Amino acid sequence: MAPGAPWPHELHRAVWRARSVSPRGTEGTMHENYWTRRRLSRRDTLRLAGIGTAGLTGAALIGCGEDEDAPATNGAGATTAPGGGGKGGPDGAGPAGEGIPVVEGDPIPGGSFTSPATSTYLQHDPHTALGPNIWHLIGEKALEQDQRTGEVVPSLLIESFEVADDQGLELIFKVRPGIETHDIPPFSGRVFDAEDVAFNMMRIIGATAEEEGIPVASFQRASMLEGMEDAEAVDETTVRMTMSRPNSSIFAGLTENRVPMMPREMVEVGFDDPMAMGGTGPFKMVEFEPGVRMAYGRFENYHQEGNPQFDRYVQQVLPDRAAQVSAFIAGEIDSIGALQAHELTTLQAARPDANYFTWVDANWMHFRPNMTYEPFADFRVRKAMQLAIDYAGMANGYWGEGWAYHAALHPNYPEGWQSDRVRALPGYNPDTKEQDRAEAVKMMDAAGFANGSGIDFETLFVEAIADTEENAIRLQSQMGEVFSGMVVNVRGYPDLASYSKPQSEGNFRGVSYIITATPDAVLEAISQFHSQGSRNYGSFNEPGLDDILDRAQAELDIDARTELLDEFQQRFMDEWLPLIVFYARPYRSMLQGRIGGFDQTAGTWLGYSTGNEIGQWYQVVE
């Protein structure tokens, strides 16, 4: 098959492409796999969709908790898009998704955009930070994915990517030429090249940890590039990645929100002073006042023509939730997220011109037990707790409508069990809660902990993430209702930085926390549950689970991979239960009516990409 020739229908069904659409409109039986293609044209590489995200269509933008009637409401200056794709490619083109408000009017360059923050960031190393950081604004990812379809596409840094051999052990990435770094020393506007990309790839997997004096465990996204042995610059615009084994998720891993690229000099600069940091992103740091605000200015030499639209982006610290609501009503901030039902009612009444956006988010809430605590090493104890929890009461108690039932894998993965299927499972089913709790008591007794006696643990949470605290408290209450002898305490940490230390070190018995799903189902499962997973904080170790996930990662046939993941989900619930998922969060945000462009970036996988995507938002005449 010559380079540039169209792929047959069989190859379209390989793991790297999720939608079985034949360019010839024909049907066929799969007799080749992805690696039979020696070299891909750019047209073909654009078709390679990370299987784990390609099913996230516009339909996923509608909440699906206890009440699915949570429509997006439009401000006075907006219309509702009839449906379509997502952002598209690097130019940001693409129709809005169904139900997403579209602000009418011509963009007005300049001005500022202000959002609230509960604190200024404390972690500034993009490859070891637990959560959001300045690099989501001053840096960029190697690859992107459509926010709604999840298709892996070239980014503003990488213009093409391909598999260079039949075995899938050599991958080639072409860096866009002429991309300038921020104009501060020591980068001083130099061109960001293949050496920078290769350096970042190696650092993400922790290859530089010893040299830098950083624990390898700090590189919590290493699983995103599972199987990578080496990355090297072949020339100024070409990176060769060498794999120890095929990895069907590797391209999707580079779209993960928390693996942004940075100039290679950053390690020498250090990660203590945000004002000394520079990348290639649409904004550069212009102000960092701890506890007050973080401000970013437009990078005039940004490589995407016309962007960013705003001259300035400000994250204003407003730790009090009531202050954030008041500031939005007063027009002092332009966005507000994580809206609870009562806040939404207040804001829609006070700012009828504002636009409301909602969908099932990539964030999921959970309780992670530590297997080093002897009672939690017994599956019967974990299963009894899973059966006893009132998930609907927990989610509705904080969010009201719009959340989704979630078991082993996020329901918006095409391989993930959907919300209605999870709702029917023992424990999750609100209609059988009384029977499930009775079974939970029997199971706990059989494990040797009658009424939970002998089990004593503390649940850690992050005070700055309100629903982690609410969930910890509700878990404490519900365990007390069902297991009278169980001792459950809760302990809050003020921010992610202080919380990340005991979690990453495994110094806990239980945590109530939030996970932002990675853009691929296999990557997600490996990072969270595999014995070698970089986010397996609870030290779960099950050879059978490892085997299934290893095979799924190497599997290039979409149907075979899906079967493996279905088996994984079944055994997750019936045999393993490395953690207990509470629910998938709803995304709920409001933007002032003058803000346009958000419809082009909205979708499940927006996540921490908000920083880069703000470069595509703009203001219109009110």
CB-based contact 357:58 (threshold 8 Å): no
Spatial contact of 582 and 367, defined as CB atoms under 8 Å apart: yes
pLDDT of 612: 66
40 is in which domain, residue-wise? 1-48
Dihedral angle, C-alpha 116, 122, 128, 132, nearest 10 °: 0
Which is it for strands 228-235 and 238-243: parallel, antiparallel or unpaired? antiparallel
Residue 412: which of 523, 513, 520 has the closest Cα? 520
Minimal CA–CA distance to 258: which of 166, 363, 351, 113?
363
Question: Each residue of 192-208: pLDDT tens digit?
Answer: 999 999 999 999 999 99
Could you tell me the CA-to-CA distances from 337 to 67, 356, 501, 536, 543 in Å, in that order? Answer: 20, 10, 27, 29, 40
- Count other C-beta atoms under 10 Å from residue 316's C-beta: 17
How is residue 149 annotated by DSSP? T
Give domain status of residue 458, yes or no: yes
Lowest mean pLDDT among 77-91, 344-358, 460-474, 563-577: 77-91
- Tokens read off for 109: 């360059």
Average pLDDT score over residue span 380-394: 98
Reported as a pLDDT band with limits 50, 70 and 90, residue 540 is very high
Q: Is residue 569 part of a domain?
A: yes
- Inside any domain, residue 275: no
Residue 423 tokens read as 């709702």
**Residue 268 pLDDT greater than 70, yes or no:** yes
551 occurs within a structural domain: yes
Q: Which whole-number Å values give the CA distances from 420 to 66, 240, 487, in the listed order?
A: 10, 43, 33
Non-local CB neighbours of 424 within 8 Å, separated by 6+ positions:
none
CA distances from 268 to 121, 124, 199, 272, 292 (A): 21, 14, 13, 11, 28
**Secondary-structure percent of the chain, ordered helix, strand, coil, rounded to 5:** 30, 20, 50
Comparing 56-65, 194-203, 241-250, 526-535, the range with the smallest average pLDDT is 56-65
Average pLDDT in the 407-436 region?
96
Please state, in angstroms and rounded to a whole number, the distance separating the CA atoms of residues 411 and 404: 8
**Spatial distance between the Cα atoms of 452 and 480, rounded to a whole number of angstroms:** 9
The pLDDT score that the predictor gives to residue 608 is 60
CATH of the domain at 373: 3.10.105.10
- Spatial strand order in the sheet of 335-337: 335-337, 580-591, 355-369, 510-516, 456-462, 487-493
Chain position carrying tokens 């690097």: 90
Residue 192 in any domain: the answer is: no
> What digits encode the pLDDT tens for the residues 279-319?
999 999 999 999 999 999 999 999 988 899 999 999 999 99
Compute φ and ψ for 267, nearest 5 degrees: -60, -40
pLDDT of residue 149: 72
Contacts 24+ apart (CB under 8 A), 527-534: 527/221, 527/223, 527/224, 528/578, 528/579, 529/572, 529/576, 529/578, 529/579, 530/223, 532/223, 533/223, 534/217, 534/219, 534/220, 534/221, 534/222, 534/223
Residue 329 has pLDDT above 90, yes or no: yes
At 66, give phi and psi (nearest 5°): -65, -30
Query: What pLDDT shows up at residue 80?
Result: 57
Cis peptide before 308 (omega within 30 of 0): yes
Residue 277 inside a domain? The answer is no
- Assess contact for 290 and 312: CB atoms under 8 A: no
- Parallel/antiparallel/unpaired status of strands 238-243 and 170-175: antiparallel
In a domain, 535, yes or no: yes
**pLDDT tens sequence across 125-146:** 999 987 789 998 999 999 988 7
pLDDT tens profile 146-169: 777 778 888 889 999 999 998 889
Across the range 64-81, mean pLDDT stands at 48
pLDDT in the model for residue 444: 98
How does pLDDT run across 566-592, given as a tens digit for each residue? Answer: 999 999 999 999 999 999 999 999 999
Radius of gyration of the chain (CA): 24
- Any domain includes 247: no
- The residue among 590, 76, 588, 587 whose CA lies nearest residue 355 is 590
Contacts of residues 439-446 at CB distance under 8 Å and 24 or more positions apart, as own/partner, are: 439/387, 440/383, 440/384, 440/385, 440/387, 440/388, 440/482, 440/483, 441/384, 441/482, 441/483, 443/380, 443/383, 443/384, 443/387, 444/380, 444/381, 444/384, 444/483, 446/380
The residues, ordered by sequence, that sit 6+ positions from 359 with a Cβ below 8 Å of its Cβ are: 60, 61, 62, 63, 586, 587, 602, 603, 604
Joined tokens for residue 570: 């079944």
Bigger pLDDT: 571 vs 11: 571
What is the total count of domains within the chain? 2
Residue 289, classified by CB atoms within 10 Å of its CB into exposed (0-12), middle (13-18) or buried (19+), is: exposed
